[in-house]
Structure 1
Amino acid sequence: MTVTTLGIKLDEETRARLKSASARLDRTSHWFMKKAILNFIEQVEAGAGVEALVAAEALERDRLRHSIARRRTESSLLEDTVPGARGA
């Protein structure tokens, strides 16, 4: 089995919380993140939507809106309004 390393960007507060939560379980941060990711994957594969994974209030507060469809729409709108942006 091939293994690939992926990176994740965390602010200092989140990183500190991750280290604290991991330590409480006597586990590494890597173990904690991997379990969380696998848990989310299993829920999505079982049919869960984003609303089942993240509280509605958190989705409403999410300023970055990590939505692939939203990014595509915004990118398409940008291409339609910026001269020379299409095909760049």
Structure 2
Amino acid sequence: PARHLEVAAALGADTAGAAEADAGALLADTLIAMMRATDIPNGLSAIGYGEDDIPGLVEGAHAQQRLLVGAPLVVGKKDLAALYKDAMAYW
């Protein structure tokens, strides 16, 4: 949590008095504000993907084991599906 506060501050967030318990949300809000300010599309749905595309995205990503083996946890298809579902929209 302390590192999250450091990064949020480095990105311009006001972290004065912020509790470590709120660090993740503060950092996420800061990143989303930056994304909105720079007109980054709001997730995969904004660039044409939908929930029906998730199985294909999962299969494509899961086949890239050279990228997944370096993850700190084992990344399975369920994990990838959840990641893609969450990435459909950020705000």
> Do both share a fold (TM > 0.5)?
no
- The structure number with the bigger radius of gyration is 1
The two structures have a TM-score, normalised by structure 2, of 0.29
Greater relative contact order, per chain length (Cα 8 Å cut-off, separation 6+)? 2
TM value normalised by structure 1: 0.30
